[in-house]
Amino acid sequence: MSLFRRLATACVVAASLLPSIAPASAAVAYERVAYFAQWGIYQRNFLVKNVDTSGAASKLTTINYAFGNVSEQGLCFEANEAGVGDAWADYQKRFKAGESVDGVGDVVTQPLAGNFNQLRKLKAKHPGLKALISLGGWTWSKYFSNAALTPASRQAFAASCIDLYLKGNLPKIGTSPHGGPGSGAGVFDGIDIDWEWPGSEGNVGNVVRPEDKQNFTLLLAELRRQLDEYGAQTGRHYYLTAFLPADPAKIDAGVGVPGVFSSLDFATVQGYDFNGPWNSRTGHQSNLYSNPNDPSAEKFSVDAAVGAYLSRGAPAGKIVVGVPAYGKG
């Protein structure tokens, strides 16, 4: 159930089940969330500008920027290294006027360029839109367990992520003139934790510990504490969200419900990748209800996933159902 795979296929929309999707300015209590894939600007040439010109930006409440990496030391960081980080896409690439949200091209002297600057422009054009930095994903969840391990590591992780992404203290890397203290301030309105998966197997090589379940709850609590502390200084609320698994076995192994939800503004529950090329048998990848004739041992469905969280004490008002905008073959 790979977040990397689903985003590499197409942009994923995670939305509450609505009969229709109204503009984000409408007075409704639903979160309408979409992921913007950092690497989509390359082969697919899908730019932040396209989120605006397609009309999507006016219908969304939140964009999750995927992804930020976590170091072996359990800290947020930026780098320009294949498979490790893409600071060039994040805040160094200069977009031309025709590629820019507001039609103004980037120049060498501005502190912030790249996708981050375009997100800031998109938010200026759509004042009700939030942008969250999504950390981890299938590929970059390797060291979450290290970040969550001790009170000291949790404190350091939260502080590093707030400093980098909310305070915007982006490092200057290589010969690029972009970055510097406060250069990325105002881009992000909070943090999304996409740990795949606490307490159970994810990508090959991930660090997994039996105590991940309790530490995941403690990690979110520390993030919530520091976000609120920083918000008291700036006079605003910073969002904390998470992407959570559909598999009841993974829920029980790593998600302490309702403790996790007490720290979150909302959680996106996986509503897709129930079946895929990793299976030997064909099956639905995002079915709403379980099929009683399904021969699989695990009869995954959106209904079963949401029901699993509700039965464990999750508040219904904090559950966002993940809906795929792609298929598998």
The CATH number that applies at residue 221 is 3.20.20.80
Amino acid 8: pLDDT: 31
Q: How far apart are CA 182 and CA 171, in angstroms?
A: 10
As a whole number of angstroms, the distance between CA 132 and CA 62 comes to 7
- By three-state DSSP, how is residue 231 classified? helix
DSSP single-letter state for residue 177: -
**Catalytic pick from 78, 99, 196, 222?**
196
How far is residue 208's CA from residue 171's CA, in Å, rounded to a whole number? Answer: 30
* Six token digits for residue 212: 């991940």
The verdict on residue 82 lying in a domain is yes
The answer to the question of residue 307 being in a domain is no
Q: Which of 204, 68, 39 is nearest to 136 (CA)?
A: 68
**Cα separation of 205 and 225, whole Å?**
30
Locate 177 and state its tokens.
């003139």
33 within 8 A of 61, measured Cβ to Cβ: yes
Please count the structural domains in the chain: 1
Q: How many Å is the Cα radius of gyration of the chain?
A: 19
Q: How far is residue 312's CA from residue 220's CA, in Å, rounded to a whole number? A: 18
Residue 303 has a pLDDT of 97
- For the chain, the straight-line distance linking the first and the last C-alpha, in angstroms and rounded, comes to 15
Query: How many Cα neighbours within 13 Å face the side chain of 237?
Result: 6
Residue 256 lies in a domain: yes
pLDDT at 9: 29
Task: Report if residue 68 sits inside a domain.
Answer: yes
Instruction: Tell me, yes or no, whether 44 lies in a domain.
Output: yes
At 4 the pLDDT is: 33
Residue 10 lies inside a defined structural domain of this protein? no
pLDDT at residue 326, as a whole number:
85
The pLDDT, as a whole number, for residue 329 is: 77
pLDDT at 14: 36
pLDDT at 302: 97
Using the Cα atoms of residue 212, residue 218, residue 221 and residue 227 in order, give the sign of their dihedral. Answer: negative
Q: Which domain holds residue 182?
A: 22-238+250-267
Q: What is the token pair recorded at 318?
A: 């904090």
72 is catalytic: no
Task: Report the alpha-carbon distance of residue 310 to residue 297 in Å, rounded.
Answer: 22
Say if 109 falls within a structural domain: yes
Distances (CA, A) of 7 to 38, 68, 250, 281: 10, 14, 21, 23
SS3 57: helix
Residue type, 5: R
279 in any annotated domain? no
Give the side-chain half-sphere CA count within 13 A for 278: 8
Tokens 């690439």 -> residue? 93
Would you write out the chain's pLDDT as a tens digit for each of its 329 residues? Answer: 333 333 332 333 333 333 333 444 444 579 999 999 999 999 999 999 999 999 999 999 999 999 999 999 999 999 999 999 999 999 999 999 999 999 999 999 999 999 999 999 999 999 999 999 999 999 999 999 999 999 999 999 999 999 999 999 999 999 999 999 999 999 999 999 999 999 999 999 999 999 999 999 999 999 999 999 999 999 999 999 999 999 999 999 999 999 999 999 999 999 999 988 988 888 899 999 998 888 888 889 999 999 999 999 999 999 999 999 888 77
Q: State the pLDDT at residue 130.
A: 98
> How many residues are given for the chain?
329
As to burial, measured by CB atoms within 10 angstroms (0-12 exposed, 13-18 middle, 19+ buried), residue 195 is buried
CA dihedral sign, ordered 220, 221, 227, 228: positive
What pLDDT is attached to residue 5?
33
